[in-house]
Each structure stands twice: as structure tokens, then as C-alpha cells.
Amino acid sequence: MAEAGSFADKVKQQADIVRVVGEYVRLKKTGKDFSGLCPFHQEKTPSFTVSPIKQIFYCFGCGKGGDVYNFVMDMEKCEFPEAVKVVAEKCGIAIPRQKERSPEERKENQQRSVLVEMHREAQTFFVKQLEGTLEGKAARAYLEDRGLDKDAISRFGIGYAPSGGDALLSRLKPKYNDKLLVDSGLVSRDQSAGRLFDRFRRRITFPISNESGKIVAFGARALGDDMPKYLNSPETPIYSKSNVLYHMDRAKDALRRQDFAILVEGYMDAIAVARAGISNVVASCGTSLAEPQIKLLGRFTRRVIVNYDPDTAGQAATERSLSLLLERDFEVRVLALPPVGDKKADPDLFIRERGKDEYLKLLKEAPPYVDYLIARARQMDLTTGEGKQRALNFLLPYIQKIPNGIMRSEWATRIAQQLRIDEPLLRSALSKAAKERRSEITTRPELVGRAAKPVERRLIRMLAEAQGFRQELAKHLQNSRLYHGLETEKIFAALVIASLSGQPVQATEVGAVLEERDRRLLFEILFEEANEPTWEEAMSCIEALQHRQAEQELADVQRSIEANPSAPEMRGLLEKKQELMRRLAAAR
């Protein structure tokens, strides 16, 4: 991937994988290598290994492995160019300015940065309106009433869009043409008269930032009874609702540190939770999570506590989000807040009324999603057979998403007990559902273990590392076709091709062309304790392989003889047998 002489290659030469990985994983020196707890799978004893000499990493537990870029790509869930940037930044290497590929692209980039600049200006404007105008004063009173003091207002950049209808417009108009103004989503166009006016009027504004902290949209709440109560920016070239999670830019560190996220519905909820000192909160800013949002979240944690509003829409949104999260293999818990007085409580109201300690306590006790779903199912009428069937139909799609069979079975028992459903009936429904789904499941690759014989492992290691005679050895192996038919054939083939090129072998690049099982085996071999290889050792490995090959052939010939073939064929087989036996005897 990192072509020789490219910027990526230069960065890789200078970067130290131990230092880069060390920013994410606590590493301990063990012999020549470093080891730690794998960041890609749950484990208690370290099987994650980093080699400073080879500049690669490998996890003996889950099989992830590669170079510094593979690590960053997996860790940050980003593409190669982004990983190069990340590593360069970590190592203090200046990144050359990227050349834009086409005039259109340049134009789009320009437009995007103008739109971001407009949002910055709008933000300054809204904040000033809240601070220094009469109308703003009323808005401040409302915010105060909601428990948002000066600190919170400035921390979350809360502002105010005045009622006039062209206050922001007149600010922006001298600098930007009409098309840009409309494209920004900050300004709307009257359909009939074609007149421009402010999109947000008489509303409290909440800046919505993208992942890197740039304001790309606004959410706005009506101050009076104007409808809709909440109005957001439309989709624009810099903002897509399904790509952004509110508060993500500030939650990143906490998400990584705490390794779980609290998912709430709106920005008021996220602000309330964050103000309670719980920074790992994000809001979907819509009724349900979208696929790209889940992907974004998954880059930081795979554990989520869903805390949506307890109303019907919130419940439906919870259940939709659950489905999506479970499909993506997230560990999900659900926090359904109890009512405050006679009011159904969203996180904002709950924390205001009952305090953050109470919220934290409930957060800690939030049940796994299955418990939540059982509780929901129990609200259905379970006195009739039909009702039970409905409850079962409600639960099954979720239960069948549990990847672990034992867990699934435990839950089946629990559901049967709690809903008083005949257990065999439930199990048969479950296994029917499981069969339908089996085709989609990719099984986890099993540990490779000692699949290859020591001789093969040794030769593979030499092909990868013996700078002195690698090419020579590759030629030898290719001519004799010695590795054909071996379990490790594909690894040999890939290494032989790489070695014949005369370039240094990059284990990660060889690994990239291999199937998962072979790739893992290659990495395991590379991390084995081994002595400096010598040409003599290589030759004796080759002899061993030749010997093994002859033995195999002999066994084949013997089988053919026992099948009692025609006389001429038998003659040929016997001759072949003699020759093989001579060869084997000579080798002893």
C-alpha cells in the first residue's frame, strides 16, 4: 500500500509502531517484542504483540495484524490516506498540501469551506443576539428556567435567532451570493415571491458540529409556541443528518476512555447529561439512528446505553435503534427512566428534577436490552394464546440477533419463564428463526494453531526475512515445485513471488493477498522465536520437504498397486516404487 518513495512510505520509515500503538494500548516489553491487551477483542491476558524490529503487530487471540497503518485504520476505523495523516501527525511529520484532482473537486472544496465560514459567522451572530439584545434577554430567561446558566450557554455555544426575518440575512448578504446563502441552509427562499429570509426566527440556536468540531448546522428550538418546536438545518453540502452525532466532537476522548456511549435523542438531553459530568454522551438528533451514525460511533466504542424518551415515538426509536446496533454487534443496554411525578422523563427533565447522582445510579443499573424487551413484551396481553404469540413475534427478531448460542439459549429459558410460554415451543420458533439467519453469519476464524509442519514454518520465515539468500531460496523452491500441495502452498506462492522481485518483503502486503486463515498463520510464524537463518539450514529444510514429497508419492503408488491395475500399468508402478525407495534410502 505504501508505495516505495511515496509520502506514506516515508512516514512509515520514520514512524515507530511501538510509539504509535503505545498511544492506544499499554505495552510491556517482553523479550524482543512488546505485548499488551488487544484493543480489538476482549481479553484478560495479553495476546497482542508488537515487533519493533519488523514494525508489525499481531494478535494471537483474534488474528488482527499488520503494519502501523493497518493498526491505525482498524483503530480509527478510517481509510488508508487518513491513516497516513494520523501517523504523520503523531510523529510530527509535515503533511504536504494535497493537490485537488479536478476543477469540480476544487470548486466543491471551496464551496464547502465557504459554507463552514458562513456557519462560523452565523454562530458569532447568534451568540451576540442572545447576549446583547432585548429579545435575547427573553431567551436567556427561558434558558435559565430550563436550568441552563451562563456557563452552560457559553460551553455549548447556545445562541438566539431574532424574530425579524432578515437579521442574519442582512449580515451575510454583502459577502455571499444568493445561491450560496440558500445552499447554506441558513437562509430560505420564499417559493412564490422568490424573496430570501432567515430560516431560523425567534428560536434558541444550538450549533451542531461535525466530528472534527467544525459547526456545520444548527438545531433551533422555538421560543414561543411556534411550530415546529424543533427545527434543524436542512441537508447541505456540509451537513447530512445521518452522518453527524451531536456532541461527538467533544465526546471522543471519553468514549475511548470509558468504552461506552450514552445515546440520547436531542441536543437538550445531550447537554443535560454532559453537564452532569458524563462526557461520553451523543445525540442522534432525530428519531432513530442511521447506519452512518452507527459506523461513526463504532469507531470509538461498541458498547451503548440507549436512553431515549419514554414516549411512544421514543420507544419505537429505541427498538429500531436496537435492531441496527445488534446487527452491527454492539453490546446494548437500555435505560428507561421512571416518570418524575406524573411526567414521563427525558434525560434533561430527569437530571433537573432528580439530580445527576440518581441518573448515574440508574445508568449503572441499566439492564441489557433483552430485559428491556421482555419488560416491553409483558405489557402486552399475555392471557390469550394470540397475545402470547404477538409477544413472541415481537421478541424473536431481537433474540435471534444474539450471536452467542449459549446466551441465546439462556434468554430463551428466561423469556419462557417470564412470559409463561411453553419452552419447547419457544425453542422451536427460535431455531427456525436461527436457520433463516445462519446464511448471513460469518463464523469467526478458528485459531490456526500448529497447522504447518516446522520445516514449512522455517522456510516461510526465511523467505520473509533472510535478506542474504531469500531470492536464491525462492528460485530453488519455484523450480522444484516443492511447496505444491502443502497446506501452506498459498503462503509460499505469495512469498516466492514477493522474494523473486528482489524488493524487501513487506509482511503486511503479502498478508493482504492471502485468505484470512493463511494470513494469520503467516503472522504467527513471523512472531515465533527463531535463530538467524543460514543457507545450510535452508537446504536441510528443502531436503526434508523432498523426503516428505517422496514418501507421499510412494504411498500413492502403493495405493495404485493395491488397486490391482492392468499388467503394463502395474509394471510402470513397480518401477516407480523401486525408484522412490532408492531415493528415500539414499537420503537416510
Interface residue list for Zn ion (CB under 5 A) = 38, 40-41, 59, 61-62
- Distance in angstroms (rounded) separating the CA atoms of residues 4 and 287: 48
Nearer to Zn ion (CB atom), residue 38 or residue 282: 38
Hey, CA dihedral for 456, 458, 461, 467, is it positive or negative? Answer: negative
Nearer to Zn ion (CB atom), residue 229 or residue 444: 444
Nearer to Zn ion (CB atom), residue 63 or residue 347: 63
Strands (E), 290-352: 303-306, 331-334
Q: Which residues contact 104 (CB under 8 A, 6 or more apart)?
A: none
CB of 47 to Zn ion, least distance (A): 6
CB of 449 to Zn ion, least distance (A): 16
Nearer to Zn ion (CB atom), residue 447 or residue 550: 447
Nearer to Zn ion (CB atom), residue 38 or residue 464: 38
- Distance in angstroms (rounded) separating the CA atoms of residues 83 and 472: 35
CB of 254 to Zn ion, least distance (A): 23
- Distance in angstroms (rounded) separating the CA atoms of residues 211 and 250: 8
Q: What distances in angstroms separate CA 27 from CA 34, 64, 75, 115, one per listed residue? A: 6, 16, 16, 43
CB of 528 to Zn ion, least distance (A): 18
Nearer to Zn ion (CB atom), residue 199 or residue 302: 302
Q: Residue 212: helix, strand or coil by DSSP? A: coil
Pairing state between β 28-30 and 33-36? antiparallel
Nearer to Zn ion (CB atom), residue 20 or residue 75: 75
The residue written with cell numbers 499488520 in the block is: 66
CB of 64 to Zn ion, least distance (A): 5
CB of 65 to Zn ion, least distance (A): 9
Nearer to Zn ion (CB atom), residue 312 or residue 443: 443
Whether the Cβ atoms of residue 249 and residue 209 lie closer than 8 Å to each other: yes
DSSP state for residue 344 in the 8-state scheme: -
CB of 440 to Zn ion, least distance (A): 23
Q: Which residues contact 422 (CB under 8 A, 6 or more apart)?
A: 416
CB of 39 to Zn ion, least distance (A): 8
DSSP state for residue 47 in the 8-state scheme: -
Q: Which residues contact 208 (CB under 8 A, 6 or more apart)?
A: 215, 216, 217, 218, 219, 232, 233, 239, 244, 246, 267, 285
- Distance in angstroms (rounded) separating the CA atoms of residues 119 and 183: 12
CB of 507 to Zn ion, least distance (A): 17
Nearer to Zn ion (CB atom), residue 41 or residue 583: 41
Sequence-ordered alpha helix ranges (H) in 56-102:
68-76, 80-90
Residue 516 corresponds to which amino acid? E
